[in-house]
Structure 1
Amino acid sequence: MIVRADLDKLPASLRAELSAAGIDIGALYDAIESALDEDLPEPAPGEMPAEDVTSVATIPLDARARGDFAVRDAGVVAGLGVAALVFHYVMGDDVDVTDRVPDGTRVQPGDVVMRVSGPTRGLLTAERTALNFASHLSAIATATATWVDAVAGTGARILDTRKTLPTYRHLQKYAVRCGGGLNHRSTLAEMALVKDNHVIAAGGVVPAFQAVRAAYPGLPVEVEVTTLDELRDLLGAGCDRILLDNMSTEQMREAVALTAGRAKLEASGGLTVDRARQVAETGVDLLSVGALTHSVSVFDIGFDLENQPA
């Protein structure tokens, strides 16, 4: 059975840490609750509570254990604080989380990155949900770090996109930061990004840019271009952030020369990590990579249990 600790009953220091890292604690709490409901849904009125039948059948009620989060891959960990919050949600105060390494730490196979002690049933009930969060977010952080390493020393930065899992954007973008990447806009309201369909609707890159400027003076505006002629037109109109969509390396190099520092240039489309350094060395400022969040493989973390005296 899950305690389902109220948000304000979860450790204040952990909540403060996650909030300071830019994670929406209310949204995280809801995500944890929804994730655990997939395993043990809250009963309808008059129904018996759902329980982890395997753990109830095999583990005495008073049994206690310690579990180690041990990584099986090399990479960058993220989401360990989120995983810790899962255990507190399930067991309330009757759980201790120790030896947690900071998110963003580079690790090697076999490293223990967090230890959790408490009732054995509760640990195993929370285990998979905690691992799902940590494994997924560590995969994003690791992928991001791979791209960051690929462009190291060039001056270019790695940027994410809005190609995120619905309702998990705040967590996935947090993991990108753990891997050394930057976040693009998180909402449609905080920045204007004029893409090809907006350009078609507005009648060109310059009319689209000017329409945004007129409607939202002072709001950051970025405009996507596919040709060097469009780039020239935008520079003449005063656009200071331009996305180079699916351009060749040579076109990007020419775009940098034409821009001569008048605007920040973001490369996007058709990028691979093997090509990343070549693109960065053209002089572009940013490489935006949707794959950081939409195409990562799981980062393998295990939960190794050790019984303790009751």
Structure 2
Amino acid sequence: MDTFLLDELLRGFLREDLEHGDITTEAIFSGAETGSAVLRAREPLVAAGLESVAARVFWLLDERLRCSGSIPDGTCAAPGATLLTVSGSVRSILRGERVALNLVQRLCGIATLTRKHVDAVQGCKAAVADTRKTTPGLRLLEKYAVRCGGGRNHRFSLSDGVLIKDNHIAACGSISEAVRRARAAAPHTINIEVEADTLAQVEECLACGVPVIMLDNMDAPMLRQAVELIAGRALIEASGGVNLRTVRATAETGVDIISVGALTHSAPACDIGLDWLEQLAP
């Protein structure tokens, strides 16, 4: 992640939580006390953002804080594993605790769910990808977590590529016309993908020479028919309603990419706690 973009986000999260200060911490501690604490896994998880996000939260809050022992992103951690150690001002650690935990709990949850989907399609050629169904303001972080879990990123924004979906087609009148208009307006460096709900729409995509076809909300038998119909003439993405129960069957149809909105919109946060190790006399 580009720290120029990341730091702006993290400072905003800190401002939201601190607002006019930490009344509790400032009342109890003078600011001279120092100590150490650890972020610890309380359930099995795939690590995401310990050094790049949590440690940076603490550093942005207080450059004198020292973070060490961060578990590498993408690493599986068992319950009780130390994920990151932070040392320095007691005040600063306590002020940054909630923001750091909120973020890494979310990111590890996404990475963990992504890894389960990736593991489920092992042996198939299909890659697991995310969607734009992300939490507003957190897309940069959540898509990073997908990569930590072994998945791929779809578009980051509407400007990343042409994706002609059902509502574009309905408003325009046909796939052919929508593709014609997109080709006339889009730069030559931008790829065109079209969503198809039926085999007739797949045939229309092929007639237009569409390079990427998204097969939307098709069951496994229909996906196989579409894959046979396309016969290598376009990159094939399957999307819509995919979950851990169905992702293997989807992959076995021969599609190239499986996009799963649940990776970011439904991943449960992982249970991670901050445990105090020591408090040193000022």
Q: What are the superposed Cα offsets for residues 240-292 of structure 1, whole Å, 9 maximum, x if unpaired?
A: 10001111110001111111111111111121211110110000111111111
Q: Which amino acid in 2 is paired with 1:90? A: L
Is residue 73 of structure 1 aligned with residue 43 of structure 2? yes
Which residue is 2:191 aligned to?
A: 220
In structure 1, the partner of 2:28 is 58
Q: Which moved more, 1:97-106 or 1:25-34?
A: 25-34
- SS of the aligned residue for 2:228 comes to helix
For residue 153 of structure 1, what is the amino acid of its counterpart?
A: G
Q: Deviation string for 1:137-185 (max 9, x for gaps)? A: 1111111111111111111011111111222211111111111111111
User: Which range moved further: 176-185 or 159-168?
Assistant: 159-168
Q: Percent identity?
A: 45
Residue equivalent to 1:36: 14
- 1:114 lines up with 2:84 in the alignment: yes
Q: Does 1:281 align with 2:252?
A: yes
2:227 to 253, 256, 273: 256
Q: Could you say what secondary structure the match of 1:273 adopts?
A: coil
Instruction: Give, in angstroms, the shift of residue 55 of structure 1.
Output: 1.8
Counterpart of 1:179 (choices 132, 135, 149) is 149
Q: How does 1:79-228 map to 2 (within 5 A)?
A: 79-80=49-50, 81-92=52-63, 94-218=64-188, 219-228=190-199
2:108–2:270 Cα contact (<8 Å) kept:
yes
Equivalent-residue separation in structure 2 for 1:39 and 1:214 (angstroms)? 47
Residue 274 of structure 1 aligns to a residue whose secondary structure is coil
Match of 2:5 in 1: 27
Q: Do 1:24 and 1:170's aligned partners in 2 also have CA atoms closer than 8 Å? A: no
Query: Where does residue 3 of structure 1 map in the other structure?
Result: none
CA–CA separation in structure 1 for the residues paired with 2:152 and 2:186: 24
| Alpha-carbon separation, structure 2, partners of 1:35 and 1:79 | 15
5+ residue gaps, structure 1: 1-22, 42-49
SS at match of 2:55: helix
1:230 has 2:208 as partner: no
Q: Deviations over 1:203-225 (max 9, x none)?
A: 11122112211222522010001
Contact 2:215 2:223 in 1 (8 A): yes
Amino acid across the alignment from 1:143? L
**Is structure 2 residue 218 aligned with structure 1 residue 240?**
no
Instruction: Check the 8 A contact 1:98/1:116 in 2, yes or no.
Output: yes
Displacement of 1:60: 4.4
Give the SS at the match of 2:124. coil
TM-score (norm 1): 0.87
Contact 1:143 1:179 in 2 (8 A): yes
Q: How far 1:90 sits from its partner (Å)?
A: 1.4
The count of corresponding residues between Structure 1 and Structure 2 is 279
SS in 2 for 1:87: helix
Stretch of structure 1 that moved more, 298-307 or 31-40: 31-40
Distance 2:133 2:17 in 1: 27
Q: Please give the alpha-carbon distance, in whole angstroms, between the structure 2 residues aligned to 1:246 and 1:178.
A: 27
Q: What TM-score do you get using the length of structure 2 for normalisation?
A: 0.95
In 1, Cα distance between equivalents of 2:210 and 2:250: 22
